[in-house]
Amino acid sequence: MKVVDPATVETPIGYIDLARVRLNAERIAKYAAEHGLGWRPHIKTHKSRAMARIQLDKGAIGLTVATLREAEVMADLTDDILLAYPPVGDARLERLLRLPASIDLKVGLDSHDVLAPLAAAAAKVGRSVGILIEEDLGLGRVGVRGPDEVIRLANAAQSFEGVNFSGLMFYPGHIRMSVPEQVTHQELLNERLLRTISALCEEGLNPGIVSGGSTPTLWRSHEIQALTEIRAGSCIFFDREALEVGVANAEDLAYTVLATVISTAVPGQVVVDAGSKALAKESRSGEAGFGILFDRTEVVVSSVSEEHGVLDLSGIDWHPKVGERVRIIPNHVCVSVNLQEELLARDDGTHCFIELEARGRRHWSV
């Protein structure tokens, strides 16, 4: 990779610490292995081949993707890919089944309307795709409700050529580590999950894979009974939400947005060049604002427009000058990364650019 002088790099830009990325990946893979879990990270967080290589080198068992673009880009890095998003429509199916036949391909879905066309398309090209049936265990976004629906889809998968029932998947996005009342949510999740697994086994439909987990629940994944793998993704970088829910500390943060102060004209605030097109306009965990400063976490990005971010300096004895650079911890790292053309990376005192090859939705080859 070409070495660059960070002082010459135009802001705003996503900025990563590769040493911390490696340490995060190593720690997560070690935790998973110690608890008999596989780590199949969701690469939608970083969309980068370089980051995926680090995750796989440190012990990830495969990769999770959300888009076909991501699958195509990652296809030569691993032979184990889960598309955790239902491929609806002929165009998506054709593109999905053009992935190399050597890949152990799995798809998460929650309806017969997706299962039947996928099975037909896979059978037509002589391929077998593993099916993970997504169950709603409390989030209320997608997923079938209850054992009966899971069994119905599992039986359908077993009856079709081109697919095979491989297991279950779920996303506990409604659970946060630091909130005591969330213990009840996790207990309910365990009850529902075990009820479904028991019902499947009674029907002779053993779910070989039980895939779940999220970054906010990362270090408690072993408490989810019958879980076989976790898909936590943003833990490669972490973000403000991770700090707020207690899943990460400041020394774990590997991603910030490098920004420049462009205005100090209004008393009690300064404006930086990182707005919604660099940080995203997303609130997380009920915290105010859209990010905080890396070195001054008491300073909040109180508002954003497209190219402006307002830092609230009320009550703060700090007065940066125009041209001064700051690093911002975004609320949600995944969305911020997706807004970048490339990332600036620090590694052993040098800097380079990291490509985001899986960003966007265009074809890998056209």
Rounded Cα distance between 201 and 102, Å, is 30
How many structural domains is the chain composed of? 2
| Residue 152, domain extent | 19-238
Chosen domain end from 178, 204, 238: 238
Q: Give the Cβ contact number of residue 270 at 10 Å.
A: 23
Do the domain assignments include residue 360?
no
197 and 269 both lie in a single domain: no
Residue 225 shares a structural domain with residue 279: no
Query: Are 230 and 254 contained in the same domain?
Result: no
Q: pTM score, two decimals?
A: 0.94
Residue 13 domain flag? no
Same-domain pairing of 154 and 302: no
Q: In angstroms, rounded to a whole number, what is the distance separating the alpha carbons of residues 176 and 183?
A: 9
pLDDT tens string for the chain (366 positions)? 789 999 999 999 999 999 999 999 999 999 999 999 999 999 999 999 999 999 999 999 999 999 999 999 999 999 999 999 999 999 999 999 999 999 999 999 999 999 999 999 999 999 999 999 999 987 788 889 999 999 999 999 999 999 999 999 999 877 765 555 556 777 888 999 999 999 999 999 999 999 998 999 999 999 998 999 999 999 999 999 999 999 999 999 999 999 999 999 999 999 999 999 999 998 865 678 999 999 999 999 999 999 999 999 998 999 999 999 999 999 999 999 999 999 999 999 899 999 999 998 775 443
Give how far the C-alpha of residue 12 lies from the chain's centroid of Cα atoms, to the nearest Å.
22
Indicate if 182 and 298 belong to the same structural domain.
no
Closest residue by Cα to residue 165 from 190, 197, 138, 192: 197
- CATH code for position 180: 3.20.20.10
Q: For residue 93, tell me if it sits in a domain.
A: yes
Q: What is the pLDDT of residue 361?
A: 79
Over the stretch 121-131, which tens digit does the pLDDT of each residue have? 999 999 999 99
Task: Note whether residue 57 is domain-resident.
Answer: yes
Are residues 232 and 88 part of one domain?
yes
pLDDT digits (tens, 9 = 90+) for 263-298: 999 999 999 999 999 999 988 656 789 999 999 999
One domain, residues 205 and 293: no
Whether residues 101 and 231 share a domain: the answer is yes
Same domain, 182 and 256: no
pLDDT tens per residue across span 207-254: 999 999 899 999 999 999 899 999 999 999 999 999 999 999 999 999
Say what the pLDDT of residue 187 is: 83
Within-domain flag for 223: yes
Which domain-ending residue is among 187, 209, 238?
Answer: 238
Of 214, 238, 262, which residue is a domain's last?
238
Answer whether residue 37 is part of any domain. Answer: yes
Query: Is 347 inside a domain boundary?
Result: yes
Alpha carbon distance 314, 316 (integer Å): 5
Question: Residue 343's domain is classified under what CATH number?
Answer: 2.40.37.20
Structural domain contains residue 9: no
215 and 272 belong to one structural domain: no
Residues 230 and 326 in one domain: no
Cα separation, 247 vs 262, in Å, equals: 33
The angle at the Cα of 99, spanning 366 to 25, to the nearest 5 degrees, equals: 105
Judgement on whether residues 204 and 66 belong to the same structural domain of the protein:
yes
